[in-house]
Amino acid sequence: MPGTIRKRCVSLPAEHSHGHGHVHPVNFDPTAAEPDHYDAAPTAGRAYRIGIGGPVGSGKTALVAALCRALGDELNLAVVTNDIYTTEDADFLRKAGVLDVERIEAVQTGACPHTAIRDDITANLDAVERLEDRFPGLDLVIIESGGDNLTAVFSRGLADSQVFVVDVAGGDKVPRKGGPGVTTADLLVINKIDIAHLVGADMDVMTSDAHRMRGSLPVITQSLVDTPNAPAVADWVRSLVKAG
């Protein structure tokens, strides 16, 4: 249960500081997932939780809005956003009118977004609990991470499944650069394929690199301009929640 997880005291190994120093041991492997300090929580009797992470501007909030449009009528859903100093993403979603404003909670992380989704997930679990109290029988909570680099992944104690969103504007090198987001997320989304030709990104290279880095884990390429309701990602989410 979330209550037991959040009471747990977490101490990080000294050589693995998560201040902005990012000190790693000499043999640090940047493609390996870091140890998770929280156990996965049992999913029975609570909302399924999907985390959405990825670099700033890749299209996380746009994907959250798309999923609300696609699934809002069939699932009892709510959203938690994470921003460093503002509530910008929550404000955007409220203004976009994709979901009842009461169903959107904003967490201000005050620090590196990575911290609030992995190292101390308390503020996010509190936000999820507020939503579950407000909307009994909630099926799904989508948690958007603050924009971070390629290393940000969610604790399994916070997100049951996670989506990592990159976009073509970063260049077709991004998937082969790896990092735990690209290699271990349950779903990798390569977004903004409508502008690939403008930035010279080769989609064949991006998708084949992504599959090579991820083995059997799924990859979806999409454009939220061409398909504003993100049908492929919505199908993936729907099947998880139904199975969940």
Ligand X SMILES: Nc1nc2c(ncn2[C@@H]2O[C@H](COP(=O)(O)OP(=O)(O)O)[C@@H](O)[C@H]2O)c(=O)[nH]1
17 annotated as a binding-site residue: no
Which structure tokens are listed for 165?
């969103």
Query: Residue 5 or residue 78: which is nearer to ligand X going by CB?
Result: 78
Q: Which of residues 133-162 bind ligand X (CB under 6 A)?
A: 147
Name the strand (E) or helix (H) holding 106: strand 104-108
Of the candidate residues 67, 89, 184, 237, the single one contacting Mg ion (CB under 5 A): 89
**Rounded Cα distance, 104 and 221, in Å:** 27
Binding site annotation covers 58? yes
**Tally of residues, the chain:** 244
Q: Is residue 182 a known part of a binding site?
A: no
Asked if residue 224 lies in contact with residue 59, where contact means CB atoms within 8 angstroms, the answer is yes
Does 109 engage in binding with ligand X (CB under 6 A)? no
Q: Is residue 178 annotated as involved in ligand binding?
A: no
Q: Which is nearer to Mg ion, 78 or 213 (CB)?
A: 78
Q: Where do we find the tokens 């139904």? A: 242
**Per-residue contact track with ligand X, 54 to 93, x per CB under 6 A?**
x-xxxxxxx-------------------------------
Is 61 annotated to bind a ligand? Reply is: yes
Residue 61 in the binding site for Mg ion (CB under 5 A): yes
Pairwise CA distance, residues 219 & 12, whole Å: 32
Piece in contact with ligand X (CB under 6 A), picked from 42-50, 127-135, 186-194, 204-212:
186-194
Residue 48 tokens, joined? 């399924």
Structure tokens at 233: 């990602």
What SS3 state is found at 52?
A: strand
By C-beta, is 163 or 213 nearer to Mg ion? 163
Q: Which residue in 196, 224, 230, 234 binds ligand X (CB under 6 A)?
A: 224
Strand order across the beta sheet in which 104-108 lies: 104-108, 77-83, 140-144, 48-53, 161-167, 187-191, 219-221
Rounded to whole angstroms, the Cα distance separating 145 from 64 reads 11
Q: Quote the least distance from Cβ 210 to ligand X, whole Å.
A: 16
Question: Per the annotation, does 95 bind a ligand?
Answer: no
Q: Which of 163, 232, 225, 174 is nearest to 203 (CA)?
A: 174
Q: Which residue has the tokens 């790896």?
A: 178
Tell me how far, at minimum, the Cβ of 123 lies from Mg ion, in Å. Answer: 17
Query: Which tokens in the block code for residue 224?
Result: 């939220």
Residue 214: contacted member of Mg ion, ligand X, none (CB under 5 to 8 Å, by partner type): none
Counting contacts by CB under 6 A, is residue 199 touching ligand X?
Answer: no
Residues binding ligand X (CB under 6 A): 54, 56-62, 147, 191-192, 194-195, 223-225
Residues flagged as binding site for GTP: 54-61
